Every structure is written in structure tokens, then in C-alpha cells.
Chain A
Amino acid sequence: MPKILLVEDNEMNRDMLSRRLQKRGFEVSMAMDGRQGVEMARAGGFDLILMDMSLPEIDGWEATRQLRAVPETRTVPIIGLTAHAMAGDREKALEAGCNDYDTKPVELPRLLAKIETLLGGP
């Protein structure tokens, strides 16, 4: 069962996305801010991270950079999520070290396809 870390500060978003992923057979752990997200990710055991980019404490951009800077999380796939869909967000996310990027509202089939691509890959 693939393990996903969902880093999202909004309670409803967290609840919604985690339940929908669980229903599809993922094991989901949750972090409420960037700092907690980095801590949990570094503790290990995740196959993929879903990272909201606007987070309290440390934002998603910075959290991603921190995860890319250390060996234990350097290769864990990260999908960045933003609510704004601003031009350039995608490039910014990839530059920060995300493997892929998606916008909220999450379209589940699209996100699942991205997750599966990243998990199925080498």
C-alpha cells in the first residue's frame, strides 16, 4: 500500500483529499504546516508527498527546497498544489524541486494519474 504524506493547512481540504485517497487504497499521513511536513517527511517511509504551497510556518516552496537538500528525501516524488494557478507557478514549483504540479480545486482523476505516473516510474 503506497504511503502518501499530505501537507495541507486547511482542515477541510486535508479531510477531503485524505479520505478520497484512502478510499483508493493509499495510506495517508497528514501534516498541518510546512515545518511539520518537513519533520514527518524526514522521519521517512513515504512514497510520495502532496505539498500545498501556501502553508503557515514554512511555506510549500521552502519546505520542498529543504526536502531536496537532504539525502533521505531527495528522491521522494513531490507534487505541488496551489490554489491560485498563477502563470509561472508551475515553473516555480518545478524549480523548487517538485516533480509535478497541480492546481486546486483538485480534479481527482487528474491528480491520481499524476500520482500513479510518479509511483510507477523508476
Chain B
Amino acid sequence: MSHAESGNGLSPGALGELRHDLRTPLNHVIGYAEMLLEDAADPTLAERRRPLEETLAAAREALGLINDSLNSTRGAGAREVLQLYDALRGPRTRIVQAASALLPAADDGADGTFTADVRKILAAAERLAAPTAAPPAPVASTPDQPTTAPPDGAGVRRARILVVDDGAENRDVLRRRLERSGHAVETAEHGRRALELLAARPFDLVLLDVMMPELDGFTVLEAIKGDPTLRDIPVIMISALDEMPSIVRCIERGAEDYLHKPFDPVLLRARINASLEKKRLRDQEVEYLREVARVTEAATAVEGGTYLPGALASVAQRADELGRLARVFDSMVSQMKAREERLRDRVQDLRREIEQARRVSKDPGPSLDGGNLKTGDRVAQRYEVLSVLGRGGMGTVYRARDLELGEEVAIKTLLPEFVSDTRLVERFKDEIRLARRLSDRHIVRTHDFGEWSGVYFLTMEYVEGITVRALLDTRGRLGVSSTLALATQLAQSLAVAHRHGVIHRDIKPQNLLLDAEGVLKVMDFGVARLAERSTSMTEAGLVVGTPAYMSPEQLMAEKVDARSDLYAAGVVMYECLTGEPPFQASSVMSLIAKLLMQEPRPPAALNPEIPPALSALVLQLLSKRPEHRVQTAAALVEQLAPLG
């Protein structure tokens, strides 16, 4: 039972219920065995002692298993519960074997109370079996000790039956017959008493005499069928042969069946069993529909964010498909919730780091060289330039106001060398059209591509925040939890983009923006397409400044796919965790050589706080060959979830 698996734990409430469900039958086994053992102190009954002691020992062992494994401070998941049921199988079999040996070879002449008590032990032991488990294998019987069938044949369930008759003798006969069949019987001598009893506790069946003083059977039947809480209890009318017309009336009013006095025992048993079976099926159906409704409600609750894990615990105990659905559903939601909570905590850590970085870093004060645009320019008669945000390898970025929509945007102008080739510009436009379709909270929206006074520009969503580059420059490196928050969001944004067929091609700290809430937004989807011509080994350094975030296949101008973005994500993670990129060199050429030929040092070797699993994941992302990396961004999200 490992700690790592307690994520999909049952809620404390569900756990308590389960513990109760298992302890109750065990308490019964222990109680009856102890009691019978006390009786067996009588020397004539000495042969009963050993099996009873064995029963008791097995039951205590089972109790120990339950107490150990369902310790509420540790939490238990579905797997632990199944393991427990599995572990209980041994002790349970021993209880059944030991107790079965106490049953007499023939039912007659034996000590009736004793046999009944042993049966109670066996019945209780049955309730220790897993709800999904197959019925226990029959206990092997020796020729001189055959296992005994229940008094009335197998398959008869014990029911609570109310007998209503004014004749004391009839009541007595019925009670004895029914009890012999294994049912629990209560009696009422008139209709009023019957209704009191029905109001006080649940019954499975009512046997109702027609002719009675006080309230007759007909009136009682109408009361039962008129009460929504009692309506579903089957009623069998008891009548003399000459009361046929009133019997017909009763059946019209909802009675299930009728029986003639004097009772024929075989007929009595058959009809009662038939009625009970019908009720059982009806109850099962009602219960099934109720549980289907609960699963549907739970689905609605998940959508509304109000689902509590464990809420389907009782449905999950069913052995059928509905139970399986509930189990799978509950465990999925629990895992999802746990994961969300973990990510929320990590983002909190990231937020703190951003705040600290902002406090330390002097405002970069964009007193940069203005580039092609000046403050106050009205680009394309629509965007008023407000200030310079920064300069990159491809051009300058400005903050501007969209006069048409009245909101702030970012404008990125592109250096002439990137837009001189018209074929390339057409391809770039296609890429921008694709990127514009991406809409995700972790992706900076691209709005427009245009030209104004000979300057090509892109407009995009303006995000007030700090780049991961600036964060790393002020903080040196990030904590494990913050890095996981950042990497998870990066992987999520890549998963969305890749699903839409867009590859970023230029993931690096400069392109990752963090807002004050710690929400990561990836910039420049599709933009790197323009620089692609230059991504061969010889020109890489010239164009993008540093190839540090480029995958080997990108450097070699080989086929680039989604896995190249995952390599770059690995580099970003490496740098966040250790404060330095995986490869460093004094010249671009030697850097490229290292990139293509050297293995990076494991991040954990540079910072012992990094968990080995996370260090290994980063190294895997940095594999030279794409097929050795994590294969998809979605898979990366999955692999990040349990780390840290």
C-alpha cells in the first residue's frame, strides 16, 4: 500500500462506511462464536470447542486486517480496498470451514438454537466477501458431514413479514410456518395494530385477513395502497373459501395474491416466495434506477465543479456494470481534482517568485531605440503606438491602442530581411491564419498581419506581465514547484497548438509571458516560420542570436515536428531548475557542436533539490533523437502531474 497511490483515496466518510460494513459482520461472527464457546464449557459439548476456537481466531485475524489497512489517517484508495477484500478471503474461508463443520449431518433432532447460531455465523461471514467477487466456492464436505441446505431450499431470502389475523390460532400457525422458512415474523390481531406496526418499521410482505374486528382487511389494504411509503409492500389476502367476491375486490385494489384457509403448507410457501421474489426484483429495479440517477447527478456535479470524491461510494459497491462505471468515474474525478489542486499550489509558488522578481527588477524602462515606429504613430489608421516593449531577433515590439476596439494590443514589426522573399511571406501568412485559430488561456492571441508604410507588422493580444527570461535573470533559477507550474502550463499550451497542427518552433524564455496571477502565455506561435530559411547550421547564430533552445533536428534543418517544441520545453525546464542552459560555449559553433554531440549533465547533479524523476524527465526531453523524447505535449502534461 504505497503513499503514491493515496491520491485517489476514498473520502473519510466513505472509508468509515466501508469499515462499518466490514466490522459489523465480523462482530457478529466473534460474538456468536464467543457465546457458543461459553456454552461448550459443558463437557458433553467439548467437541464443539476446537472449530469454535478456530472460527474466533480467523475472525480476530480478519478484524486485525481491517483495522490495519483502513487506517483513516493514511487514506485508502480503490486498490487498497480490493487488496483488503483479497486478504480477507483467507480468514473468511477458514471461518466458513470451521463453522460448517459444526452443522449437524441431519437437521432433525439436533440442538436447534445451536444450529441457528452457527448459520448466523455463516451468514455474517458471507458479508465479508467483496461485492464484486464471485460467490464463494462451496465448502468441501466429507461423506459423514455433508453441508446442509438452508431449511427451505437455497435461494430463499429472509424477509420481514407481518401477519394480520384476528384468530390467535391462525396467527400462530402462520408465524411458525414462516419462521421455519427462515423469515422474521411479527403479528397483529387487528387492522389498527397492523397500521401502527407498518408505520413503525419496514416490512417486505403483509399477510392480511379479510374479516376482522376494528378495521377489516379491505380498509387496511386501502390504507396501505394509499400511502406512498407503504404502497410497494406486497399484500397477500387470507380468506375463507366463501369470501371470493371480497377477494376479487381486494385484488382490484392492489392485493398481490390470496390464500385460502386452511393453509396448504406447500402452496403457502410457493406463493409467499413468489411474492417476495417479485418484490425483490421490483426493489432492485427501483434501486437501480435511483443509482443511475445518482451517477447522472454526479456527472452534472462534475460539470459544475461541485462533485465530492466518494459521493458514489455506495453505487461503486455494485458488482454490475453500473458499479464499475461509478468506480471508474469516481477514481477519475478524484485524480483530476487532486491534480488540479496540486497545480493550483504550484502556480501559487510561481506567483510568489514573480512578485519577488518584480520587486527586485528595476522596470526595464523601454527607453529603447524606437525602431521603425514612433510613439504617437497611427499604424494602418487603427493602432496608436504607445511605447516600446522590447526588441527581438526579428523586430521591435510596441504597446499600442487599437482605436477601433478601444483596447491595448502589442504590435510586432518585422525586419525587412524577413519579408523580402514574397513566397516566404505568403507561407508566413498561411501560418498566421492557422495560429489565429488558436484560442487558449495559455496562448497569446495573434490578431492581424499587415503592412503600413513599407513596414510589415503583426498585432497580438497585449499581456501585462514578465517574460520567463526576465524572471530567470532576476531570480537565477526557480523552485521545483514553480518550474512544474510553468512546465505544466507550457505543455498544456503546446498540446492545444499541436492538436491544431501548429508547431511553435521557437519556444524560449523570451517567448513565455507570465501574468501577475502566475498564468503562463506563450507568444509568437507561427512566427518562427519566417526564420525557418535561416535555421541551417551556418546561419542559425546570425538570425536568432543563440541556438540554445533549438533541437538537433532543427539545427540540422531536418524535418521539424511537434517533438522539437518538446525539446525546447526541456531546455526551458533545465534552465528554470538549474539556472543555466544545458549547454554553454564561448562561440556559436562550439555550442552547436556540444548541442549535437554532448549529453547534458543531469539537472539533479546541479541542484540536489530536484527530484530524480523530474531530472530524468528533463533529460528525456533533451534526447537528441525525437523518438526518444516524450512523444506528445499531452503526454508531458500527464508525466508532470505526479512529480514534485
| Residue positions of A touching B, CB distance < 8 A | 10-13, 15-17, 19-20, 23, 32-33, 35-36, 83-84, 104-106, 108
Question: Which residues of chain B come closer than 8 Å to A36, judged between CB atoms?
Answer: 200
Q: Which residue of A lies closest to B31 (CB)?
A: A16
The A contact surface, by secondary structure, is helix
Task: Verify if B218 is at the interface (C-beta below 8 Å from A).
Answer: no
What are 16 pairs between A and B in contact, CB < 8 Å?
A12-B28, A12-B124, A13-B27, A13-B28, A15-B120, A16-B28, A16-B32, A20-B35, A83-B23, A83-B24, A83-B27, A105-B27, A105-B30, A105-B31, A106-B31, A108-B34
The complex places the Cα of A13 from the Cα of B25 at a distance, in Å, of 10
Instruction: Choose from A16, A19, A83 the contact partner of B20 (Cβ within 8 Å).
Output: A83
The complex places the Cα of A104 from the Cα of B34 at a distance, in Å, of 14
Distance in angstroms from A83 CB to nearest chain B CB is 6
Question: Which residues of chain A come closer than 8 Å to B20, judged between CB atoms?
Answer: 83-84
The complex places the Cα of A10 from the Cα of B24 at a distance, in Å, of 9
Distance in angstroms from B26 CB to nearest chain A CB is 8
Q: Which residue of B lies closest to A9 (CB)?
A: B201
Q: Which residue of A lies closest to B113 (CB)?
A: A19
Give me 11 other A-B pairs in contact (C-beta within 8 A), A83-B20, A105-B30 excluded: A12-B124, A13-B28, A16-B28, A20-B35, A83-B27, A104-B27, A105-B26, A105-B27, A105-B31, A105-B63, A106-B31
Distance in angstroms from B585 CB to nearest chain A CB is 63
A-B pairs, 8 with minimum CB distance: A105-B27, A16-B31, A12-B28, A105-B30, A20-B35, A104-B27, A12-B120, A16-B32
Q: Are A13 and B31 in contact (CB under 8 A)?
A: yes
Question: Which residues of chain B come closer than 8 Å to A23, judged between CB atoms?
Answer: 38
Question: Which residues of chain B come closer than 8 Å to A84, judged between CB atoms?
Answer: 16, 20
Q: Which residue of B lies closest to A104 (CB)?
A: B27
Distance in angstroms from A23 CB to nearest chain B CB is 7
Distance in angstroms from B229 CB to nearest chain A CB is 14
Task: Verify if B560 is at the interface (C-beta below 8 Å from A).
Answer: no
The complex places the Cα of A12 from the Cα of B27 at a distance, in Å, of 9
Q: Which residue of B lies closest to A15 (CB)?
A: B120
Q: How large is the interface on B (under 10, 10 to 19, 20 to 34, 35 or more residues)?
A: 10 to 19
Q: Which residue of A lies closest to B120 (CB)?
A: A12
Q: Which residue of B lies closest to A19 (CB)?
A: B35
* Interface membership of chain B positions 25-46, coded 1 if the CB is closer than 8 angstroms to chain A and 0 otherwise: 0111011101100100000000
The complex places the Cα of A2 from the Cα of B35 at a distance, in Å, of 21
Q: Which residue of B lies closest to A54 (CB)?
A: B20
Instruction: Choose from B26, B38, B120 the contact partner of A20 (Cβ within 8 Å).
Output: B38
Q: Are A11 and B184 in contact (CB under 8 A)?
A: yes
Q: Which residue of A lies closest to B16 (CB)?
A: A84
A-B CB contacts (within 8 Å), total count: 41
The complex places the Cα of A36 from the Cα of B196 at a distance, in Å, of 13
| Residue positions of B touching A, CB distance < 8 A | 16, 20, 23-24, 26-28, 30-32, 34-35, 38, 63, 120, 124, 184, 200-201
Q: Which residue of B lies closest to A24 (CB)?
A: B38
The complex places the Cα of A11 from the Cα of B25 at a distance, in Å, of 12
The complex places the Cα of A104 from the Cα of B29 at a distance, in Å, of 13
The complex places the Cα of A32 from the Cα of B23 at a distance, in Å, of 20
Distance in angstroms from B101 CB to nearest chain A CB is 21
Q: Are A16 and B184 in contact (CB under 8 A)?
A: no
Question: Which residues of chain B come closer than 8 Å to A20, judged between CB atoms?
Answer: 31, 35, 38
Question: Which residues of chain A come closer than 8 Å to B16, judged between CB atoms?
Answer: 84
Q: Are B201 and A16 in contact (CB under 8 A)?
A: no
Distance in angstroms from B99 CB to nearest chain A CB is 14
Question: Which residues of chain B come closer than 8 Å to A35, judged between CB atoms?
Answer: 200
The complex places the Cα of A99 from the Cα of B630 at a distance, in Å, of 66
Question: Which residues of chain A come closer than 8 Å to B31, judged between CB atoms?
Answer: 12-13, 16-17, 20, 105-106
Question: Which residues of chain A come closer than 8 Å to B23, judged between CB atoms?
Answer: 83, 105
The complex places the Cα of A11 from the Cα of B120 at a distance, in Å, of 11
Distance in angstroms from B367 CB to nearest chain A CB is 65
Q: Are B24 and A16 in contact (CB under 8 A)?
A: no
Distance in angstroms from A12 CB to nearest chain B CB is 5
Q: Which residue of A lies closest to B201 (CB)?
A: A32
Question: Which residues of chain B come closer than 8 Å to A19, judged between CB atoms?
Answer: 35
The complex places the Cα of A10 from the Cα of B27 at a distance, in Å, of 11
The complex places the Cα of A84 from the Cα of B16 at a distance, in Å, of 8
Question: Which residues of chain A come closer than 8 Å to B28, judged between CB atoms?
Answer: 12-13, 16
Distance in angstroms from B157 CB to nearest chain A CB is 15
The complex places the Cα of A20 from the Cα of B120 at a distance, in Å, of 16
The complex places the Cα of A104 from the Cα of B200 at a distance, in Å, of 26
Distance in angstroms from A70 CB to nearest chain B CB is 22
The complex places the Cα of A35 from the Cα of B32 at a distance, in Å, of 27
Distance in angstroms from A89 CB to nearest chain B CB is 12
The complex places the Cα of A17 from the Cα of B184 at a distance, in Å, of 19
Distance in angstroms from B193 CB to nearest chain A CB is 15
The complex places the Cα of A110 from the Cα of B428 at a distance, in Å, of 85
Question: Which residues of chain A come closer than 8 Å to B63, judged between CB atoms?
Answer: 105
Question: Which residues of chain B come closer than 8 Å to A105, judged between CB atoms?
Answer: 23, 26-27, 30-31, 63
Distance in angstroms from B14 CB to nearest chain A CB is 14
Distance in angstroms from A67 CB to nearest chain B CB is 19
Q: Which residue of A lies closest to B35 (CB)?
A: A20
Question: Which residues of chain A come closer than 8 Å to B34, judged between CB atoms?
Answer: 108
Distance in angstroms from A36 CB to nearest chain B CB is 8
Q: Which residue of A lies closest to B59 (CB)?
A: A105
Distance in angstroms from A26 CB to nearest chain B CB is 15
The complex places the Cα of A35 from the Cα of B200 at a distance, in Å, of 9
Question: Which residues of chain B come closer than 8 Å to A17, judged between CB atoms?
Answer: 31
Question: Which residues of chain A come closer than 8 Å to B201, judged between CB atoms?
Answer: 32-33
Question: Which residues of chain B come closer than 8 Å to A32, judged between CB atoms?
Answer: 201
Question: Which residues of chain A come closer than 8 Å to B184, judged between CB atoms?
Answer: 11
The complex places the Cα of A109 from the Cα of B50 at a distance, in Å, of 22
Interface centre among B23, B31, B38 (most CB of A within 10 A): B31
The complex places the Cα of A70 from the Cα of B34 at a distance, in Å, of 38
Q: Which residue of B lies closest to A16 (CB)?
A: B31
The complex places the Cα of A43 from the Cα of B611 at a distance, in Å, of 69
Question: Which residues of chain B come closer than 8 Å to A11, judged between CB atoms?
Answer: 184
The complex places the Cα of A56 from the Cα of B24 at a distance, in Å, of 16
Question: Which residues of chain B come closer than 8 Å to A12, judged between CB atoms?
Answer: 28, 31-32, 120, 124
The complex places the Cα of A84 from the Cα of B27 at a distance, in Å, of 12
Question: Which residues of chain A come closer than 8 Å to B24, judged between CB atoms?
Answer: 10, 83
Q: Which residue of A lies closest to B123 (CB)?
A: A12
Q: Which residue of A lies closest to B30 (CB)?
A: A105
Interface centre among A12, A16, A104 (most CB of B within 10 A): A12
Distance in angstroms from A17 CB to nearest chain B CB is 7
Q: Which residue of A lies closest to B124 (CB)?
A: A12
Q: Which residue of A lies closest to B34 (CB)?
A: A108
Distance in angstroms from B159 CB to nearest chain A CB is 13
Question: Which residues of chain B come closer than 8 Å to A104, judged between CB atoms?
Answer: 27
